[in-house]
Amino acid sequence: MRSDPRSRYRQTVLGAAATTFLLLLAGCAPAAPPPGSGADPDLGVYLEQELNWVGCKDTATSKADAELFANPALQCASVEVPLDYDKPEGKKAHIALTRLPAAGDAEGSLLLNPGGPGGSGTSFVASTLPQWQVSPVAERFDIVGFDPRGVGSSTPALDCYTDEKYDAGDATRFGAVHDITSTKEATELAERCADGSGGIANLVNAGSTNVVRDMDIMRQVLGDDQLTYLGYSYGSELGAMYAATYPEKVRAIVLDGAVSPDLTASEFRLSSFTGLQARFDDLAALCAESPDCVLGPDPAAANDRLHEIVQPLVETPAPTTGGRDLSVWDVYLGISGGLYSEAKWPNVISALTALQAGNAAEMLALRDAFYARTADGAYGHDFDTNIAVRCMDSPRPTPEEQTALARKIGEAAPMFDIDVFTAGTYHSECEAWPAPPTRDEPWLSDVEGIPETLVVSVTGDPATPHEGGIAMAKALGGSLLTVDGKQHGAYLLGDSKCVDDAVNKYLLDLVTPPTDTRCSL
């Protein structure tokens, strides 16, 4: 149970950004957008449904969330959507919603996505409830988080591996790329995911194109003529795709930690690792200020020093007192998650120092924070859904392309350049996926006629580099709020009154910051 809601949310975005960085690493726009009106005649039964808002105590999927969801200020409901939009009369999916009703007269809903793919919007609202309760936005808007297809309390669930498999290190792993080294392994992954998800249809309808159509049904069912939306990280993709698909249905869209719309999936992955390396370099410089720095006195040699520390774990994971082992894959996930916020860098240095001394517990805790793993062993970030969404979103690289990407990442981010991550022959984890992707590259195009949007971009963002925020604002013809800092995500996360005030003013009154406005964290 995390006592600090801001810290917990960082795990939701940073993990869904650390997921974002290692898996979010993809993107595209709807290959076949719905009609411009946003009102598909076959969807009448879905658009006319009424929500039954009740208490949330029975909707949590972990003990930690159950405690948060028991708060009587929260209400929960479920929205029916077609599993397959080509067969709206067929099987239904159910999208879980959690809302904090407006403190005053509600003028509409603010729909939220915290990132991923795989981040839970319902958990996000519950964990950041104290912040929303003092927000001027929540005075006039219902704050509504949703669990996209396959995530959290939404159904059907998408499962490739159990939490126990993740604990044991028996799930597919990722460093520079996923550790899929053959067509056989890719086929086994696809089959495992289809079997665990209740069939191929559930698995292949999870892509972002369908999530965007779900969002439009949510907008209508919530009673909003136009969408007011806040999306972090991967959530920026959903917001931009919605704007491109339903421009006349947009009231206000805030994209924080925006994914670059003009990069291919592989290019974006490479840019994210480049950003992560830059933050590790900063961490190494901070560490070197101490005479006993575990990474040594010379920041330029920190990559080699890190390799020395982790190399023994390549063959022999380190045991912990809790009975779980720490692998080299776990170490890099822990470090990556810790680099998402400058405030957590001392935790990374401390964990590396303890690991060097033979104590793996601190690094395992960082690894667990990356996954949003709770004390009862539940994983708050849905990495299986993450894989499913990305396999339906992005064109699939050939083994030659995937192998070349691993090498390029090793060059751009030498902290990752150890043989187990970059020296093999790699296949895409999506190589044997049972349906082709539903988006193209580039993933955002033909954006016309949308109202003013707001992109919030941190200059030292390790997962979605600032250049991507600039590109997103340009692509949408919207406003850019530049934030000086070294963190992934800023609004509500950075203790910045400048950022929060600017975003609040836009959400409430549709007034964007003056050109060239800068804030800091």
**Cα 433 versus chain centre, distance:** 21
3-state secondary structure labels for all residues of 375-438: CCCCECCCHHHHHHHHHHHCCCCCHHHHHHHHHHHHHHCHHHCCHHHHCCCCCCCCCCCCCCCC
Residue 147 appears among annotated catalytic residues: no
User: 288 phi and psi, to 5 degrees?
Assistant: -65, -15
- The DSSP H or E segment spanning 16 is helix 16-19
Contact between 450 and 229 under an 8 Å Cβ cutoff? The reply is: no
Nearest to 30 by CA among 206, 245, 227: 245
User: 127 phi and psi, to 5 degrees?
Assistant: -80, -20
* Upstream peptide bond of 414 is cis (omega within 30 degrees of 0): no
Cα–Cα–Cα angle for 77, 79, 80, nearest 5°?
145
Burial of 151: CB neighbours in 10 Å, binned 0-12, 13-18, 19+: buried
- The CA–CA distances, whole Å, from 507 to 4, 229, 230, 411 equal 25, 9, 9, 41
Residue at token pair 């993809």 = 26
Largest CA distance in the chain: 69
- The CA–CA distances, whole Å, from 213 to 82, 148, 406 equal 10, 11, 34
> In the 8-state DSSP scheme, what is residue 260?
P
What single string gives the DSSP state of each residue in 136-179? SHHHHSEEEEEE-TTSTT-BS---SS-HHHHHHT-S--BSSSB-
Burial of 6: CB neighbours in 10 Å, binned 0-12, 13-18, 19+: middle
Residue 154 appears among annotated catalytic residues: no
What span, in angstroms and rounded, lies between the C-alpha atoms of 33 and 402?
A: 29
- The DSSP H or E segment spanning 456 is strand 454-458
The total number of residues written for the chain in this structure: 521
**Cα 440 versus chain centre, distance:** 20
What span, in angstroms and rounded, lies between the C-alpha atoms of 403 and 449?
A: 41
What span, in angstroms and rounded, lies between the C-alpha atoms of 412 and 414?
A: 6
What amino acid occupies position 117?
A: P
**Of 461, 466, 479, 500, which one is the catalytic site residue?**
461
**Of 167, 178, 488, 496, which one is the catalytic site residue?**
488
Residue 466 appears among annotated catalytic residues: no
**Of 123, 153, 233, 496, which one is the catalytic site residue?**
233
3-state secondary structure labels for all residues of 19-61: HHHHHHCCCCCECCCCCCCCCCHHHHHHHCCCCCCECCCCCCC
Cα–Cα–Cα angle for 148, 151, 155, nearest 5°?
85
* Catalytic residue annotation: 233, 461, 488
